[in-house]
Amino acid sequence: MSSERYRKERTGRKHKNIPELESLRFHILKAETKVLCFFCARKFGILPAISETGGEGGRRVDEREVQRMNARKKYRILVSALLVLSVMLTAGAGMAALKRQIPDHMTVRERGEAPVFFSGLIGNWIETKVEESMESSETSGEKYEILYSLFGRIPLKTASASVAESKTVYVGGAPVGIYLDTKGVYVVDTGMIQTAAGESRCPAKGSVKRGDYIEQVNGKEIATKEELVECISTSGGKEVELGLRRDEQKVFCTVLPVEDDTGTYRAGIWARNNTQGIGTLTYVDEEGHFGALGHGISDIDTGELLEITDGVLYDADVLSVVKGTQGSPGELSGIIHYKEGYRIGVIEENNSNGIYGTISGFPLLAEHLTKYETANRQEVTIGKASILCFAGGTTRAFEIEIEELRMNGKNINKGMVLRVTDPELLELTGGIVQGMSGSPILQNGRIVGAVTHVFVNNPEKGYGIFIEDML
């Protein structure tokens, strides 16, 4: 067959099959249209589910597919919701962290000063605006507000500021003996008495409570536990009326003493009227007023802050150091010289921030102390610092690291988290021990705070109070 004839025959067959191809295409298009219409109608709920295979079996197969699609849709919605919630929580936590970093109140050196608490990129996001003066007087000084905002649009926090001149104090660091008299006879607890009849009884139970201060017995003023014991023991078994101070309220109650197995009348009251211990002197101002400990003195049994009438600050000698270990805080062990010649000063106040009073013969003591400028809380930074404390037979500076600042903590005695880094102090004491409370914290040539507590499970770490809160 010639090539020309072959081409003609082939061409002829091709043109001959065109109607068949067009017919096939038509049927395919028709089928596709039906399928498309079916799915559109099914999507909008116009038609019931119909399977290719037809019948109930096909319907069930299609329904399962729809269920799977719905499940996937719900899963995507859930994931999206969780993602949005996570972003919102993260943003909220970030905002809360920024707020905590800004003090509610601060003391500044100059009018209109707006301290910065953030650096780097975050610092660029925070804008400050100083409001007009709130108050101005000779006693309180000038006050104003500082508005901190994110990008200048999202309010972050409003802080108050007081203008005050820089203060200088003489810094301590030496151990001192502390003696306090309570305001009345302090009730530690009540307990059972073994009576002469062989019974166990507690006459004071239900009438006297832990933390009470007994001020009167049968209308007579008392100040010591010895006076209380004498009044009870000489009662002859008759009722005695006790005048108590409870939560700043005057309370009266009666107690019927019982005779114990030694023939002595007792009421089952465990009490004390004084306490003593060793701490560290923090500072002395230029008028001779001192601050020490950085926390108040509480009863060892009840944990309640003691209300005092007065007290005395004595010279103390540290004889040895019990090193702190994990789970067991160490202590400075020594003796307090309870003699007039060793008297350093008088204690006038015991509050949550420390003990306060007046130094005796202040000018003489000042000759042995160094003067430092005090730092405001916003001037304290995370990083290297030092503490003045007694170790190795002398009072000197040892290196520490300030790891955390809590500008608005509920417990102001724990405004800083400290870690001892000085190898020598770690070798001598194991870190922070009992008796170091009040040790001055120095940073950048200023006193910034005082040591207050030790971590029981890690004696290398402890807490500190801002000096601003002690003054």
Write the CB contacts of 324 (distance below 8 Å, at least 6 apart in sequence).
Answer: 330, 429, 430, 431, 432, 433, 454, 459
422 is catalytic: yes
- Tell me which residue of 263, 252, 266 sits closest to 201, measured CA to CA: 266
Q: Which of 235, 437, 439, 453 is catalytic?
A: 437
Q: Quick one: pLDDT at residue 18? A: 45
Confidence of residue 43 (pLDDT cuts 50, 70, 90): very low
Mean pLDDT for 425-454 is: 94
Residue 371 CA to its chain's centroid (Å): 30
Find the range with the poorest average confidence among 107-121, 263-277, 336-350: 107-121
Of the candidate ranges 137-151, 208-222, 299-313, 411-425, the one whose mean pLDDT is the lowest: 137-151
pLDDT of residue 299: 85
353 pLDDT tier (thresholds 50, 70, 90): very high
Task: Give the closest residue to 355 by CA, choosing from 218, 268, 243, 465.
Answer: 465
Query: Can you give the pLDDT at residue 445?
Result: 93
Query: Where residue 411 falls among pLDDT bands split at 50, 70, 90?
Result: confident
Banded pLDDT at 419 (limits 50, 70, 90): very high
Amino acid present at 355: I
- Res 14 pLDDT > 80: no
207-255 pLDDT, tens digit each = 999 999 999 999 999 989 899 999 999 988 899 999 999 988 999 999 9
Q: For position 115, what pLDDT does the model report?
A: 85
**Cα 29 from chain centroid (whole Å):** 75
Percent of the chain clearing pLDDT 70 (strictly above): 84
Distance CA 213, CA 273 (A): 9
Residue 345 CA: distances (Å) to CA of 65, 170, 296, 360, 469: 88, 15, 17, 5, 22
Nearest Cα residue to 291 out of 469, 106, 139? 469
- Is 133 catalytic? The answer is no
Is residue 41 pLDDT above 60, yes or no? no
Of residues 207, 212, 235, 422, which has the active-site annotation? 422
Strands (E), 136-174: 143-150, 154-163, 168-171
Task: Calculate what percentage of the chain has a pLDDT beyond 90.
Answer: 36
pLDDT tens digits, residue range 105-157?
888 888 888 888 877 777 778 888 887 766 655 545 688 888 888 887 888 88
The mean predicted confidence, pLDDT, of the chain is 83
Using the predicted structure, report yes or no on whether residue 11 has a pLDDT greater than 90. Answer: no
The pLDDT score that the predictor gives to residue 453 is: 93
Whether the predicted pLDDT of 49 surpasses 50? no
| pLDDT on residue 67 | 78
Rounded-to-integer distance, Cα 416 and Cα 171, Å: 19
Q: In the structure, what pLDDT confidence band is assigned to residue 403 with cuts at 50, 70 and 90?
A: very high
User: Looking at the predicted structure, is the pLDDT value of residue 2 above 50?
Assistant: no
DSSP for residue 305: B
Taking residues 356-369, what's their average pLDDT? 78
The whole-number pLDDT of residue 467 equals: 95
Query: What is the per-residue pLDDT for 442?
Result: 97
Residue of 190, 191, 187, 200 lying closest to 260 (CA atoms): 200
pLDDT of residue 449: 95
Measured distance CA(388)–CA(452) in Å, rounded: 13
Mean pLDDT for the stretch of residues 186-201: 88
Assess whether pLDDT exceeds 80 at residue 12: no
Is pLDDT at 327 greater than 70 in this prediction?
Answer: yes
Residue 261: active-site member: no
Tokens representing residue 269 in the block: 């009251």
Which of 212, 235, 295, 439 is the catalytic position? Answer: 295
